[in-house]
Amino acid sequence: MITLTRTGAAENVALITLNRPTALNALCRQLMQELSETLLKVEHDSTYNVIVLTGSEKAFAAGADIKEMAKLEFADVFQKDDFFANWDTLSHITKPVIAAVNGFALGGGTELALMCDIVYAGENAVFGQPEVSIGTIPGLGGTQRWPRFTNKSIAMEICLTGDRLSAQDAKEVGLVSKVFPTQQLIAEAVILADRIAKNSPLIVKTVKKSVNSAYETSLNQGLEVEKHLFQSTFATNDRREGMAAFSEKRAAKWSGN
């Protein structure tokens, strides 16, 4: 249910595609297990620098597999080896992840996109948290990431009504950074991945860690994290190489250490 393709100008971009077309990429156990395994494979492969996560033109992911979920009881979703055991792997990946969202991204589909570092959307993308309409609430970060990435009012409206948001509206509220024609979306995401991949993989990971700290700490705590991470770059060969290359007006040759 997952395909992995090597792409990008330097062949160091991992294009991961959700591939369950008959169910609009509904997030079932098997799909999420395969996605988790693929993400970890790419995470530990130094020949990949950036990840692009996408689905089909019709659906990024139409949500969790409700038929599979409807059979669960409290004990099933509470235990350690529960239905959601592999669902947060994406949020722990240290390499940059770009979501390229076409079509439906509802419920868990939106939450999956929000776990990514950058969200690009096709013009036909639709976001939303419809869980309230089926008697439950978002369980993979919807109620937590929406207010952080947009604001409390928008988060409340989306989660309390189950209303959907178009790609353009999602961009206006800050959920999406750019919107492209549907058939152009993946190419644009790979272009962005290439621009990121030209930089030191080590420093890119450090930037990601620092920016993410802004959502998990106070301003003063975040500034301390940033300062320490900035100082740590002075212990790396890539910092020395980057500054030397700038002074010598040449392209840097990153070693990743």
Which residues form the catalytic set? Answer: 64, 108, 111, 131
Taken in order 195, 123, 52, 226, the sign of the CA dihedral is: positive
Nearest C-alpha neighbor of 25 from the set 112, 136, 115, 152: 112
Of 59, 55, 167, 61, nearest to 100 by C-alpha is 55
The token pair at 222 is 């975040």
How far, in Å, CA of 217 to CA of 215, rounded? 6
How many Å apart are CA 153 and CA 156, to the nearest integer? Answer: 5
Helices (H) and strands (E) counted in the chain, each on its own, are 11, 10
Distance CA 112, CA 153 (A): 21
Does residue 29 contact residue 83 with C-beta atoms inside 8 Å?
A: yes
The number of beta carbons lying within 10 Å of the beta carbon of residue 127 is 28
